[in-house]
Structure 1
Amino acid sequence: MKAKLLAAAAAISMLAGSVAVAQDAGAGKPVDMVLLPKYLGIIVFDQANNGAQEAAAELKNERPLQFLGPTPENSVAGQIEIVTNATTQGVGAIMISNNSGDQIAPAAKAAHDKGIKVVTWDSPIPSAEGEDVFVAQVDFDETGRVLADMALKILGEAGGEFAILSGSADAANQNAWIKSMNEVLKSDPKFASLKLVDTVYGNDQAETSYNLALALVDKHPNLKLIVAPTTVGAPSAAKALQDEGLCEKIKVTGLGVPSEMLSYTQNGCAPEFALWSFKDLGYLAYQTAYALATGTVKAEEGAVVKAGRLGDRAITKDPTREKGLRILMGPFSLYNAENVEAAAKE
């Protein structure tokens, strides 16, 4: 009996060992990979690159990660050009934070047809054409409710007029969040006092967003809040209101980086805002793309990516897109005067 138990234990041990080997089989394989943000010069995309570099080191990929991006002024054409060039070079995987809507789909499909793994992160390809899987920072439907909840909390039961200051009109993620927020406002009676009066696009350029915030104030004399679902728009709008001495009358909320929102939260211009970890997002995007490129995981519903310190992440259908697949990261973090200073130091 004892011999049988020992044999069974040995078999289980061997099986566990084989599973571990299978899970790590891709580690150490050289894969040329490109991380493509919407554009360069934005702190959250630098944080995503740091996370991707961390994953690259853990996976022992000897090929250096290419962090390539266009300028904000040339984002759409620039992203398409970078994907096309990477395809010509024959890289193993391209990770895209899409700022080009479906305009990038033909280039992504051309890459995919050549066997290159295409993973989107932060912002997907709306049609999912040419895309293996989207690494979503948070649930997009949840984003709309979080934005609506912050708006109601800041304005109170009396509510009032608010406007949205977004990034690019072609950014799939921001468009989805705005759509979700509008649906929440219409479907939930508790938001009946909130009135959306305008939506403008600052193309994630600080000066443009700053000027648009002031234009919203001039255009809507009863405006009480600017909601900016973009980490460039939120501090730009808050600075504009601060410079004009309007923080007592009009507030800002949305998505922001704690270190950039610190002073505006402390002085009351932006009482509350939200975000997630872009470092973790870059880390998860790299883990996913590398697993696909090395063949350890297939881009199909039910497959599981073993994502290092972030644990197992399942590939599921994307509930916000008819044909897309998704890996969900999460969660949201909410920041206010009580926790923003500590978060800004991280």
Structure 2
Amino acid sequence: MMLRTAARRRTAATVAAVCTLAVALTACSGTTKDSAAKDSGNAGGAATAKADPDAPLKKGLKLAFLPKQVNNPYEKIVDEAGIAAAEEYGGTGKEVGPSDAGASSQVSYINTLVQQRQDAILIAANDPNAVCGPLRQAMAKGIKVVAYDSDTAKDCRQLFINQAGSEEIGRGLVRNLGKQLNHRGKIAILSATQNATNQNTWISFMKEELKLPEYRDMKLVKVAYGDDDDQKSFQQTQGLLQAYPDLKGIISPTTVGIAAAARYLSDSAYRGKVVLNGLGTPNQMRTYVKDGTVAQFSLWNPEELGYLGSYAAAALASGQITGAEGERFTAGRLGEYTVGKDGEVILGKPTVFDKNNIDTFDF
């Protein structure tokens, strides 16, 4: 009997010692690697994690870029720049994604990337909510999630790398077109997909700008959707002009759409009569600027967008930042950036391209 009592005391002492050691590590809570990762992924990870701004960027980080669609030339520039940036800090990157821009087309790719245990997923979302479930699962497993170009819902990622301020883009496009039209005439918008977060945000600011008194003689008659597909965007442009033969201007805030619209206008009777403005790359729009189809358009440097996104993801994965407002990190040759409200990081102001400066750019 005394032997059993002594054995019990030794067992209890051993358990107490083990728990004392565990308290220092996990507070005897039964926390596992996955549950700790889940805590760090909650609410973008900024609520429970603590940033270490002096932490070095980790070597060997694995980043995956998931564009709206892999055959989008604009997003190809963004992703290739981000992959090249990863090599600068000793990481690796890759691009994967669907060939169409459907709302749920990216989901299966996210699931695969989670299984592959990427350190970070960078996504240009086709739909703000359709990708949220698998992205939350990714964050729960400690994978960092960075949206770029087109945002997800705010609780489905830690950061959003925005090309420029959304209000500045939307209002700026209307201002530019308004000046070209002397603030008179019917206009239309040729967008990408109906659910694209960035497009819808810009369009909402376009509509707000159009409510101002100086635009009282300008009327938005239609928002058309080309689904970031070249042929469909071409056909939508044709349809707009057939439906509204007195149309005076088109804004296309998508690089696929503006190029397709310019191609249609350049070979039609509307060339020189309908003003086209929007967002495009210099290389795809150079011909149309020089032949007079398009007088001006805007964009930021997509290479810098991918570069910034890559360094932001690396800073997250290395613990330099968590995505909380006010945190700072250095993005290589671009210098220091500050995380804004809701985890937004803004690249900078867009550039307006015309015949006077277009040949100085190559992207």
TM-score (norm 2): 0.83
The equivalences for 1:154-193 within 5 A come to 154-157=180-183, 159-186=184-211, 188-193=212-217
Deviations along 1:133-189, whole A, 9 cap, x unmatched? Answer: 1011100010111111111122114x1001000001111001000001101111x22
SS of equivalent to 1:165: strand
Alignment length (residue pairs) = 312
Larger Rg: 2
Equivalent residue for 2:354, pick from 313, 336, 343: 336
In 2: Cα distance, 1:120 partner to 1:197 partner: 32
Equivalent residue for 1:203, pick from 212, 227, 231: 227
In 2: Cα distance, 1:26 partner to 1:68 partner: 28
Equivalent residue for 1:152, pick from 178, 185, 201: 178
The equivalences for 1:136-285 within 5 A come to 136-157=162-183, 159-186=184-211, 188-285=212-309
In 2: Cα distance, 1:299 partner to 1:144 partner: 25
In 2: Cα distance, 1:23 partner to 1:182 partner: 41
Q: CA deviation at 1:60?
A: 1.4
Partner of 2:159: 133
Does structure 1 conserve the Cα–Cα contact (< 8 Å) formed by 2:280 and 2:297? Answer: yes
Matched, 1:80 2:107: yes
Equivalent residue for 1:51, pick from 55, 58, 81: 81
Q: CA deviation at 1:24?
A: 6.7
SS of equivalent to 1:213: helix
Does structure 2 conserve the Cα–Cα contact (< 8 Å) formed by 1:108 and 1:129? Answer: no
SS of equivalent to 2:228: coil
* Paired amino acid for 1:156: N
Does structure 1 conserve the Cα–Cα contact (< 8 Å) formed by 2:58 and 2:318? Answer: no
Does structure 2 conserve the Cα–Cα contact (< 8 Å) formed by 1:148 and 1:191? Answer: no
Judging changes above 3 Å, is the alpha-carbon distance between structure 1 residues 153 and 268 closer, same or farther for their aligned structure 2 residues? Answer: farther
Larger deviation, residues 26-35 vs 93-102: 26-35
Partner of 1:65: 93
Could you list the runs of 5+ residues in structure 2 that have no partner in the other structure?
1-51
* Paired amino acid for 1:303: E
In 2: Cα distance, 1:253 partner to 1:268 partner: 12
Q: What is the RMSD of the two structures over their aligned residues, measured on CA atoms?
A: 1.5
In 2: Cα distance, 1:36 partner to 1:75 partner: 13
Q: CA deviation at 1:23?
A: 5.7
Does structure 2 conserve the Cα–Cα contact (< 8 Å) formed by 1:111 and 1:130? Answer: no
Equivalent residue for 2:128, pick from 96, 101, 124: 101
TM-score (norm 1): 0.87
Deviations along 1:267-292, whole A, 9 cap, x unmatched? Answer: 22211100001100001111011111
Report the identity percentage: 32
In 2: Cα distance, 1:264 partner to 1:78 partner: 32
Could you list the runs of 5+ residues in structure 1 that have no partner in the other structure?
1-21, 318-323
Partner of 2:34: none
Q: CA deviation at 1:115?
A: 1.1
SS of equivalent to 1:115: coil
Q: CA deviation at 1:310?
A: 1.1
Matched, 1:115 2:104: no
Larger deviation, residues 30-39 vs 194-203: 30-39
SS of equivalent to 1:208: helix
Q: CA deviation at 1:25?
A: 3.9
